[in-house]
Structure 1
Amino acid sequence: MAKKQVQAADARSDRAPNPFTRFARYVEDAKAELRKVTWPTLKETRKVTLAVLGFVAVMAVILGLVDLGLSVLIKSILS
């Protein structure tokens, strides 16, 4: 009888922990990793944000002009 209990205990220890324990461990590990992150300063964040917004504005103008040109071309071909 004791042998069966030992085998059952071994079988339980081979299984992965329950999902709640795994999720709690994941959250703890995520917190630990976030403490290691070097966060940008407010000045760096503003600088990069302005660069991205400038790039987006330039690309919007370029794509708008390409769209306008292609629209004129298609209209001239179809008419």
Structure 2
Amino acid sequence: MGKISNFLKQVVSEMRKVSWPKRKELTRYTIVVLVTVIFMAVYFGITDLGISKLMDWYVSF
């Protein structure tokens, strides 16, 4: 039990050293991540649709 409590004390100590982002930085980072995810989803969706249409055309040929 002593090892667990020692570990948790060390975790708390290290978490106090962390430099947390300010609200403005967090908002900016969140927007960047969301825009990137949306862009990648659209890109892969269009790519998948194109490959599907190409395969449909090839199979029907």
TM-score range, shorter chain: over 0.9
One-letter identity of the residue aligned with 1:63: F
Aligned-pair distance for 1:43? 0.6
Q: 2:32 aligned with 1:69, yes or no?
A: no
Map of 2:10 onto structure 1: 29
Structure 1 runs (4+) deviating above 3 angstroms are none
Aligned-pair distance for 1:41? 0.3
Map of 1:47 onto structure 2: 28
Aligned-pair distance for 1:47? 0.3
Identity in percent: 37
Structure 1 unaligned spans of 5+: 1-19
Structure 2 CA distance for aligned equivalents of residues 45 and 23 of structure 1: 32
Aligned-pair distance for 1:57? 0.7
The count of residues paired between Structure 1 and Structure 2 equals 60
CA deviation digits over 1:31-52, x for unaligned, max 9? Answer: 0000101110011000000000
Where 1:38 maps in the other structure, the secondary structure is coil
Structure 2 unaligned spans of 5+: none
Aligned-pair distance for 1:77? 1.1
Where 2:57 maps in the other structure, the secondary structure is helix
